[in-house]
Amino acid sequence: MFPTPFYWFHTHKLDDYTGVSIGSVLVQHNPQTKETILYNYTKLKIVYTTETPIIPIISFSKSKYKINETINITTSVENVGATDLRNLRINYEVGDYSSNMLAEYNSTTFDVSSGGETSVSTLLINPSLSAGSYSIHARVSDGEGNLIGGTVKRTHIYRNN
């Protein structure tokens, strides 16, 4: 049968995680026998393990901010692991369009029980940010400083007038 195999995958390493791209052929044709097979459904089973037992999600109180305005960030941290997590801390880094880190903030420590979710609110106050687009990186670390999860979201600062 052509093509063989009728599925493929590719892994790629990103900043804080590994991504997987999966492809599949829905039609196979054998030019020697002139047989064509059309698959009317595909069943995909993915089994994976992860060292990151959390899912962090950043949200802002507004979609854009004025210069010198406090940025109110809420980060929801969901523990999808089997054990309680203690003494977690979120490190926030503010980056510009060129990925230059301009400011850094740390949350207070918090705990998340297994299967639970905790919301952490943090105020970022930085009067030195000018008008433009910024990325907020949130990296969650355990009590020993080991990175266990992270996410990034963009916000915009505009002129006061």
125 and 74 co-located in one domain: yes
65 lies in the same domain as 89: yes
* In contact, 58 and 140? CB cutoff 8 Å: no
pLDDT digits (tens, 9 = 90+) for 88-130: 999 999 888 787 888 888 999 999 998 899 988 887 776 678 8
One domain for residues 41 and 58:
no
153 lies in the same domain as 76: yes
When divided into structural domains, the chain yields a total of: 2
What local confidence, expressed as pLDDT, does residue 47 receive? Answer: 73
Per-residue confidence (pLDDT) for residue 5, from 0 to 100: 67
Average pLDDT, the chain: 84
Same domain, 131 and 97: yes
Contacts for 22 with CB less than 8 Å, ≥ 6 apart: 7, 8, 9, 44
Full domain range(s) for residue 28:
1-48
Residue 16 CA to residue 36 CA, distance in Å, equals 42
Q: What is the pLDDT of residue 90?
A: 93
Both 75 and 129 in a single domain? yes
pLDDT, one tens digit for every residue, the chain (161 residues) = 455 667 788 888 877 677 888 888 888 888 889 999 888 887 888 776 666 678 888 998 888 888 888 888 899 999 988 889 999 999 999 888 787 888 888 999 999 998 899 988 887 776 678 888 888 999 999 989 888 888 989 888 888 76
Both 27 and 86 in one domain: the answer is no
Predicted local confidence at residue 161, as pLDDT: 63
42 and 89 assigned to the same domain:
no
Asked if residue 72 and residue 41 are part of one domain, the reply reads no
In this structure, are 29 and 74 located in the same domain?
Answer: no
Let me know whether 100 and 144 are in one domain.
yes
Q: Give the per-residue pLDDT at 10.
A: 86
